[in-house]
Chain A
Amino acid sequence: MIRVWLPAHLRTLARVDGEVQLEVDGPVTRASILDALEARYPMLRGTIRDQVTRERRPFLRFFACEEDLSHEPPDAPLPEEVVSGKEPFLILGAIAGG
């Protein structure tokens, strides 16, 4: 089971408390996690990555195991700790704006 941590506004939008747990088919990558997340919570489409280009929205970052994975290719395998569920996959909003 993959654990995903969403920014506060997206937890509200998706109406979830705390962590999201997802089943991911096939290799566990950023793209496959986001595909599974958006399939389960369609209201999140477009809020993490652009609906057309699939690019990460500029003010969001992806972290796991204390590493910034934001610039890794979307199909790159994620750390084994994420795959096993030991560590969450973190989606963080920038501390910016007003």
Chain B
Amino acid sequence: MSSVRVLVGTRKGAFILESDGKREKWDISGPHFAGWEMYHLKGSPADPNRIYASQCSGWHGQVVQRSNDGGKTWEPIGNKFVYEGVPGTHQWYDGTARPWEFKRVWHFEPSLTDPDKVYAGIEDAALFQSTDGGQSWQELPGLRGHGSGPKWQPGAGGMCLHTILLDPSDPGRMFIAISAAGAFRSDDSGKTWKPINKGLTSLHIPEPTAEVGHCVHRIAMHPSRPNVLFMQKHWDVMRSDDAGENWHEVSGNLPTDFGFVIDVHAHEPETIYVVPIKSDSEHFPPEGKLRVYRSRTGGNEWEALTNGLPQSDCYVNVLRDAMAIDSFDKCGVYFGTTGGQVYASADAGDHWNAIVRDLPAVLSVEVQTLP
């Protein structure tokens, strides 16, 4: 029988939640790497037992862990991330030039076909890859070097490359997003990049429709339709139907168009999910009601999903890497909160249950649907 494995990164360790296809009873293991910030864990689509994990702390910096047995055991692997050539500068919060400096890995994206190939999105924003299972890392310098790098600025959480999407129909095409630079696309396996931010408007930056400088929080894609992208921006939920060449807003009737996560249903490419969050400094759900919003029309028309979610006195946040979707026929949706809850729905969002309620603040949630 199929099963599911949810990989949860928190401020104080990693947790692995496992269930069968019913997704009713869960086995919880952890904390793995107790006391460390676990920014992200992700399994290889080509070998689900191969999992990469980003482990870091303010004391000891970055460690990278790899499991070859589905998270039962781990081994530290390469953690040396050195920018290619002279790093140069980006803009600091006050507009002054600041040298690029490695801080941490925000996101791992394993290759769709090769378990030993994996991409790493890091802070200060750059894209690295490994082709030896994470033992060594090389920057793909065309991203920082394509010209706009000196204009990039950090968002409130740091200047992080947090989203990496691989096009399953075109091995050369990938999308990344950076806070607060925007979205970029490569059509040649990461050698060269172009900003894809046309149509984004950010009223809080000097030039609201600038080529770069937008605080993109997350991008999502359905694998069957890789030219259609959905974006949760600092403000605005956006959609592109041409691989990011142009974007238009699909916030529609959302109670607030601010938020962090966005994801797509496993079998319905026009069904998307967001969790609206109150901006700008509050960063908790409007009215203290934790609501996932679902659009079955690819945006604009949204319905609140509340069954099983707290509808009063809830003041948690859902961070950008903290939503995931499994690929069962009845697709499961998962998200984690800064209050330590991991919620799951086994029916595409109609009903929710907390798998766990009292973890450390959740930074990331990924799910693996296992045979």
* Bound-state Cα–Cα, A68 to B259, Å: 47
Please count how many residues in chain A sit with their CB below 8 Å of the partner chain's CB atoms.
Answer: 20
A42 to B63, CA, bound (A): 11
Task: Kindly specify which of A18-26, A52-60, A72-80 makes contact with the partner chain.
Answer: A52-60
A9 at the interface (CB under 8 A from B): yes
- For window 1-19 of A, CB contacts with B under 8 Å fall at 7, 9-10, 13
Give the A-B pair count, Cβ closer than 8 A.
45
Q: At the interface, yes or no: A48 with Cβ under 8 Å from chain B?
A: yes
Contact with A along B35-62 (1 / 0, CB 8 A): 1100000000000000000000111111
With contacts A9-B36, A13-B76 taken as known, whether A47 is within 8 angstroms of B58 at the C-beta atoms is: no
Cα A45 to Cα B79 with chains together (Å):
8
Do A46 and B80 contact each other (CB < 8 Å), given the known contacts A9-B35, A9-B36? yes
A60 to chain B, nearest CB (A): 6
Tell me the residues in window 49-98 of chain A with beta carbons closer than 8 Å to chain B beta carbons. 50-52, 57, 59-60, 93-94, 96-97
Interface flag for A39 (CB, 8 Å) = no
Classify chain B's interface size. 10 to 19
Question: Which residue of the partner chain, among B35, B36, B58, B62, contacts A46 with CB atoms under 8 Å?
Answer: B62
Given A7, A46, A94, A97, which contacts B61 in the complex, CB threshold below 8 Å?
Answer: A46
**A13 CA to B59 CA, complexed, in Å:** 13
- Chain A contacts to B: CB under 8 angstroms: 7, 9-10, 13, 42-43, 45-48, 50-52, 57, 59-60, 93-94, 96-97
Q: Interface residues, chain B, CB within 8 Å of chain A?
A: 35-36, 57-63, 76, 79-80, 82
Q: List 21 A-B contacts (CB under 8 A).
A: A9-B57, A9-B60, A10-B60, A13-B60, A13-B63, A42-B76, A43-B63, A43-B76, A46-B63, A46-B79, A46-B80, A47-B60, A48-B60, A50-B61, A51-B80, A51-B82, A57-B61, A59-B58, A60-B59, A93-B60, A96-B58
